[in-house]
A and B are shown apart, each in its own frame.
Chain A
Amino acid sequence: MMKETTTQRRQVVRESLFKRHENLTVLSIFVGFVVIIVILQLIMTGGQRFPTFISPVNLLNILQQVGVPGIVAVGMTIVMISGGIDLSVGMLASLVSIVTALGISKWHYGVGPSILLGIGSAVVLETAMGYIISRTKVEPFIVTLGGMITFQGIALLLCNSREVIMNGELNFLKINLIAGAKDPLSHLNLIIPPYDLLFFAIAFLAGLLLNYTKYGRWIYAVGTNPHAAYLAGINVQNMKLSVYVIMGILVGIGGVTLLARVNTGIITLGQGLEIDSIAMVVIGGTALKGGKGNIVGTLIGVFFLGSIGNAMNMLRLPSEVQFVAKGLVVIIAVSAGDVSTKISGFLSRRKELRLGAAQSPVGQRG
C-alpha cells in the first residue's frame, strides 16, 4: 500500500510544477518582484542599511492598506468563480460609509445599530442586483455598472453631496492590538488593527467555504457550466443570487472599516475599490469566465497589488509610475501562465527535433 502511494507521487512530480500548483506562477512572479525591489534598495543605499521595503513596520503598513480591498477581493473571488462580476463595490462601500456616518452623527441611532444599518443596506442593494442577475439574462457587468451609478446617486442624495464628519465613534475599530511593540530597526511603532485580523479570518472562512463545502462545489459547478449544473440538481438561480448576498456583507464590512479609518463618511472613500479588487482577483488566477480560481491566489494578488505603490515610494519614484507598474503587473500575471505553457511547448518541440536529428542517418549530416 505504501509502495503504491510513493510511485503515484513520483508520477505526479514529473508533471510540470506550474501546472500542478495553480498559484505557483503568480507566487514566483511576486517573489521575483520583492527580490528585485530589495536588490534595488540595497544598491541605492550601497548595502549599508536593511532594505526598508521588507522591514516589519513597512510590511504591517502594507497589510493595513490592503485590509479593505482584501476583504472585498475575497467576495469578488466568490462572485467571479460563479461566473459573475461586481463593478458596484466601490460606490457601495462609499454609500455604506455615508449611511453609517449619518446613522451615528445625524440620526443618533447609536454605533451598533448604525453599523448594522450600513452593512444591511449593502446586503439589500447587492441582493437586489443579484436577484436581477439570477432571474434575467442581463449581463452581471451591465447590472452592476448600473448599480454603481445608482448607488453613487443614492449616497450623494443622502449626504446632500457633503461629507459626514464623526467624532471618532468608530475608533475602536482601529485600535492597535500590539500597542507598545517597536520595530527593532527603525524603532517606529508597529500597528495591527482589528480589521487586519478580520481580513484574514474572512479569507480563511471563504477558503473553507470554497474548498470543503457543498456550497463551494456548487459555486465552481455553476461557474464552469451552468446548464450541466442545473441538470445535476443545483439551483443555479439561487446560487447566483447567494454570491451577491455574500458580497453585500463583505462590502458592508469594508465600508464601515474605511469609515473608521478616516472618521468621515464621504463619496470618494470607496473610489477605485472595484478596480483594485478585480485586479487583485485576476492576478490571483481567477478566470473572468468563471469556474476557476481560489482564495490563496487572491491573497497573493492582494499583497502583490498592495505592495506595488509602497515599493514605488521606497524607490522614491513619482507616484504616477505606480499606475503603470500596477497595470503591467495585471497583464504580466494573467498572461504568464499562458506564456510559460507556450515556452515549455516550444522547448520540448525543439528537444524532440534535436533527438530526431541525432537519430537520423549519418549520411544526412555530412
Chain B
Amino acid sequence: MSEILQLRNISKTFPGVLALQNIAFDLNEGEVHCLCGENGAGKSTLIKILSGAYQPDEGGEIVVDGRKVVLNPHLAMQMGIQTIYQEHTVFENLNIVENIFTGSEIVKRGVLQKNEMRKQTVGVLKYLKSELNPDRKMGELSSGEQKTVEIAKGLVFKRRVIILDEPTASFSSVEIENLLDIIQTIKNSGLGIIYISHHLEEVFKIADRVTVLRDGRKVSMYNLEGLTKTTLIKDMVGRDPSTFYRRERVAIGEVVFEARNVTGNGAKDISFVVRRGEILGIAGMAGSGRSELMNVLFGSARLDSGEILIHGKLVKHSSPRASIKNKMCFITEDRQNTGLFLPQTIAQNVTIANLVNTREFVVRQTDDFRIGDKFVKLLNIKTKDSRTRVINLSGGNQQKVVLAKWFNTNGEIFIFDEPTLGIDVGSKQEIYKVMVDLLKQGKSIIMVSSDMPEVISMSDRVIIMKNGQQMAELTTDEVSEENILTYSIGDKAI
C-alpha cells in the first residue's frame, strides 16, 4: 500500500482567524481516511486546500505521489483529486452522461463522440452496481443518485483521490447503505478516499483511519481497530470553558410556547416548552433538521401533525402573518436571502414586518426614518442614519438590522437561527448582550446554533436533534460539550 497524498505543516489564516494550524495528514491507496470534528473544526478548510480552492500559508507542503505541488482547482483535478462537495454542483437539465463529461468531452475532429462517452458511463455505472439509466436528467435524480454519478465521474477520469464532504446529509437510510457499498467497491480498486461525516456510525463502518480536528488543530489520528466512539467524542470536545461568553441569568417564568409532537418539513415528533425569560438551545449537526423545524414553528412550512400552543392557546392556522400577530419573531439563518431587503434602506427594512400589526393604510416616510434612526442608535448600527441601504453594511450590522425589524414588531417569542453566523467577535458579543436584554424584558428565545460555545454559554436548556428527531433534552446542569456531541452524532437517544 503506497502513499498517494501527504500534507505537512499546513496552516491557514483568514483575517483575524487561524482556521488551521500545523496540520499533518496523509492518505494511502485503497484506504478510507475519515475526518472528524465539530462544526467549525476546520474540516472544510482542509478540504478546500486539498482541492486547490485555498492556498495554505507559507511553510505548508502538499505532496502528491512524492512530488511537492502547489495546487489550484484545475491542477488538483489533473493530479487525480476529485472533491465532491456537500451542496450539489450539477447541471440539472443535462443527463448523466453529459454531466460526467461536461468540460472534458471526448471529441474527434470537432465532433462529440456521444457513443464513446455513453459507453464509458455505462461501464462505470455497472462497475458501481448502479442501475441508473445514463440518459436520465440529473435534476430528476435523488441526492443519493446524484452522489453516485459524481463518484462515477471520478472513476471515468481515473481519479486517484475522492473527497466526500458530508455526502449523506440528505440521504435516506437505504441510500446511505448504497453509498457505503460503493465506497467499499472503489476503495478495493485502489483509490484513496477522504470521508467527512457527522455520523459516527458511518465512520465506524467504512473508515480505515480517523483523524480528529478541533479548533483548527489535529488532535489525534487512530487506526479503526480498537477505537471506541467515546474516545472519538472525547477528542472532539475539550474547549476551555473560561473562554466562553458569560451571560447573566434571568428569572424564569411561565410557559409561553409549547410544541406538541410537531411533525413536518423533515422534523419528526418534536415536543418542548419555552418559558418566559429563558433561552432554549437547539443543538445538532448541520442537516439535522433544526432550521426546518423552525420554519414549521413560524408557519413558513407546513405542519403535518402535532400542535403548537402560544400562551396555552392552540394555534389553528399557522402562517408567518399569523405568527407575527402572535408576537413571534424569526431571525433566519440566511439573513441576506430570507431576512433582508438588501437594496432598500435600513428604515424600510426595519418597518416592514410590523405593517401587519398596524391599522393605518397610510404610511409616512418620516415615521420610517424616525423608527429606523431610533434602532440605529439603540443597537449601535455603524452608519450615518437609517437612510443607508442595507447592502452597504457589514455582516454584523446587517444582522442588527434584522433584529431591529423584529424588535419593531414588539415580539415576545424570538426564534434565532444561527444568530451569530459569519459575523465578527465584537458584533457577536453585542448580539449576545441584546439577547440577554430581551430575556430581562420578559421575552423568550428559541436558539438554533451550530456554534458549540454559543449553545453552552447562552442556553438555559438544550434540545438535541439528529435526522429530524429529538435525541435528548438537557437541563442546565447537563449541558456540556460532551453530552451535546454524544447525542448529536452518536446513536444514543433518550
Identify the A interface with B (CB < 8 A).
Answer: 8, 11, 211-218, 220-221, 224-225, 227-235, 291-292
Contacts and interface: CB of A to CB of B under 8 A. Distances in A.
B53 interface: no
Interface string B341-378: 11110001001110110101111110000000000000
A213 B363 contact: yes
A214 B365 CA distance: 11
A8 B351 CA distance: 22
Given A217-B351, A220-B344, A224-B343, A231 B320 contact: yes
B345 to A, nearest CB: 11
A213 B364 CA distance: 8
A229 B337 CA distance: 10
Given A229-B341, A232-B353, 9 more contacts: A212-B365, A214-B355, A217-B355, A225-B342, A231-B339, A232-B355, A233-B320, A233-B323, A235-B321
Given A220-B348, A292-B343, A231 B332 contact: yes
A214 B361 contact: yes
Nearest to B365: A211
Contact of A230 (B320, B340, B360): B320
B257 interface: no
Interface in B222-261: none
26 contacts: A212-B362, A212-B363, A212-B364, A212-B365, A213-B361, A213-B362, A214-B355, A214-B361, A221-B348, A221-B352, A224-B341, A224-B342, A224-B343, A225-B337, A225-B342, A228-B340, A229-B352, A230-B300, A231-B338, A231-B339, A232-B353, A233-B325, A234-B321, A234-B352, A291-B344, A292-B343
A212 B368 CA distance: 11
B361 A227 contact: no
A232 B340 contact: no
A169 B343 CA distance: 49
A333 to B, nearest CB: 20
A215 B361 contact: yes
A227 B338 contact: yes
Interface in B155-180: none
B384 interface: yes
A227 B338 CA distance: 6
B269 interface: no
Q: Which of B339, B342, B352 has the most CB of A within 10 A?
A: B352
Contacts of A220: 341, 344, 348
B304 to A, nearest CB: 20
Contact of B337 (A216, A227, A232, A234): A227
A292 to B, nearest CB: 7
A217 B352 CA distance: 7
B268 interface: no
Most buried by B among A211, A214, A232, A234: A232
A229 B320 CA distance: 10
B416 interface: no
B414 to A, nearest CB: 14
Given A212-B363, A217-B355, A292-B343, A233 B324 contact: yes
A337 to B, nearest CB: 13
Contacts of A212: 362-365
Interface string B325-342: 100001010000111111
A263 B401 CA distance: 56
Rank and list the top 5 A-B pairs by shortest CB-CB distance, nearest first.
A233-B356, A232-B353, A233-B321, A233-B324, A224-B341
A220 B344 CA distance: 9
B318 to A, nearest CB: 12
A8 B383 CA distance: 13
